Amino acid sequence: DAGVTQSPTHLIKTRGQQVTLRCSPKSGHDTVSWYQQALGQGPQFIFQYYEEEERQRGNFPDRFSGHQFPNYSSELNVNALLLGDSALYLCASSLVAHKVEDTEAFFGQGTRLTVV
């Protein structure tokens, strides 16, 4: 059973460019959340997708956008990249369920984005 997979693993972009990160959720999961983890800090919630719609959003500018496809996979897009966008981007998948043990979030290994 494949867990959460993210691509690419590493990426280097120039300021002002646009980037797309991809995430495939764990089999059976229907919800994808994205987090930004700056070096030496805890992950910060960006947004969450369920049923192909953005359901929750953290305190991130509109330069950060996303999409969820019918197969539950997701993309994170960042426009007009800034040096401060350099971070590890984590994707977590989960299932909308009533038992908390069924709603555990599983994380991918992340995409390391460096903006130069």
What is the contact surface with other proteins in residues (CB under 8 A)? 31, 33, 35, 40-45, 48, 50, 55-56, 58, 88, 90, 92, 94-98, 100-101, 103-105, 107-110, 112
Sign of CA dihedral 71, 76, 50, 37: positive
Looking at the Cβ atoms of 45 and 73, the one nearer to other proteins is 45
Residue 40 in 3-state DSSP? Answer: coil
CB of 101 to other proteins, least distance (A): 8
Sign of CA dihedral 67, 23, 35, 15: negative
Looking at the Cβ atoms of 45 and 67, the one nearer to other proteins is 45
